[in-house]
Amino acid sequence: MSAGHDVRLAEVFKGQPKAVWITAFAAVIAFMGIGLVDPILLSIAEALNAGPSQVTLLFSSYLGVQVVAMLITGAFSARFSAKRTVMTGLILIVAATVACALASSIGQLVALRAVWGLGNAFFIATALSVIVGAASGGQQAAILLYEAALGIGLSTGPLLGALLGHISWRGPFAGTAVLMAIALVLSAGFLPKDEAKRPKVGILDPLKALEHRGLLRTSLGSAFYTAAFFIVLAWSPFVLQFGAIAVGLVFFGWGLCVAVAGVTLAPRLAARFGEVGGTVIAVLLYAVVLAVMAIGPKPVVVVGVIVSGIASGLLNTLFTGSAMSVSDAPRPVASAGYNFCRWLGGAVAATLVGHVAEWLGFDSAPFAVGAVLCVIAALLLAPGLRRNPHRVPAEAALVGEEL
Which residues touch 269 (CB under 8 Å, ≥6 apart)? 278, 281, 282, 314, 318
| 350 located within any domain | yes
CA distances from 381 to 209, 242, 281, 387, 389 (A): 18, 37, 11, 11, 13
Residue burial 286-300, b: 16+ Cβ < 10 Å; e: rest: bbbbbbbbbeeeeee
| 5 located within any domain | no
The DSSP output letter for 327 is: S
Of the ranges 73-82, 118-127, 138-147, 297-306, which is most confident? 297-306
Residues in the chain: 403
Q: What is the pLDDT of residues 90-142, one digit of tens each?
A: 999 999 999 999 999 999 999 999 999 899 888 876 777 777 666 666 666 77
| 268 located within any domain | yes
What's the confidence (pLDDT) of residue 292? 96
d(CA 111, CA 47): 17
What's the confidence (pLDDT) of residue 386? 65
What's the confidence (pLDDT) of residue 193? 73
Mean pLDDT of 193-202: 65
The amino acid at residue 331 is: R
CB 257 within 8 Å of CB 266: no
CB 5 within 8 Å of CB 265: no
What's the confidence (pLDDT) of residue 402? 26
Reported as a pLDDT band with limits 50, 70 and 90, residue 399 is very low
Q: What is the pLDDT of residues 322-375, one digit of tens each?
A: 887 778 877 777 877 888 898 889 888 878 887 887 888 778 899 999 999 999
Average the pLDDT over each of 112-116, 266-270, 383-387 and give the range with the smallest value: 383-387
| 373 located within any domain | yes
Q: What is the mean pLDDT of the chain?
A: 82
Q: Indicate left, alpha or beta for 138 from its phi (over 0: left) and psi (-120 to 50: alpha).
A: left
| 8 located within any domain | no
| 6 located within any domain | no
Q: What percent of the chain has pLDDT over 90?
A: 25
What's the confidence (pLDDT) of residue 400? 33
Enclosing domain of residue 97: 14-192+201-399
Tally of domains in the chain: 1
* pTM above threshold 0.85: no
Cα 340 to the chain's mean position, in Å? Answer: 12
The amino acid at residue 193 is: K
What CA dihedral angle connects 312, 315, 319 and 322, to 10 degrees?
A: 150
What's the confidence (pLDDT) of residue 11? 56
| 2 located within any domain | no
3-class SS of residue 153:
helix
Average the pLDDT over each of 33-47, 82-96, 157-171, 188-202 and give the range with the smallest value: 188-202
What's the confidence (pLDDT) of residue 396? 39
d(CA 308, CA 226): 12
CB 36 within 8 Å of CB 160: yes
Question: What is the CATH classification number for the domain harbouring 377?
Answer: 1.20.1250.20
CB 286 within 8 Å of CB 225: yes
Average the pLDDT over each of 190-194, 216-220, 223-227, 285-289 and give the range with the smallest value: 190-194
| 23 located within any domain | yes
Which ranges constitute the DSSP H helices of 138-274?
A: 138-165, 171-190, 205-209, 213-240, 244-260, 266-273
CB 169 within 8 Å of CB 44: yes
What's the confidence (pLDDT) of residue 382? 87
CB 313 within 8 Å of CB 225: no
Candidates 128, 124, 148; CA nearest to 139 is: 128
What CA dihedral angle connects 301, 305, 308 and 312, to 10 degrees?
A: 150
The DSSP output letter for 40 is: G
Which residues touch 55 (CB under 8 Å, ≥6 apart)? 41, 44, 45, 106
d(CA 246, CA 140): 35
CB 109 within 8 Å of CB 103: yes
What's the confidence (pLDDT) of residue 203? 75
With residue 368 as reference, give the H or E element that holds it.
helix 365-381
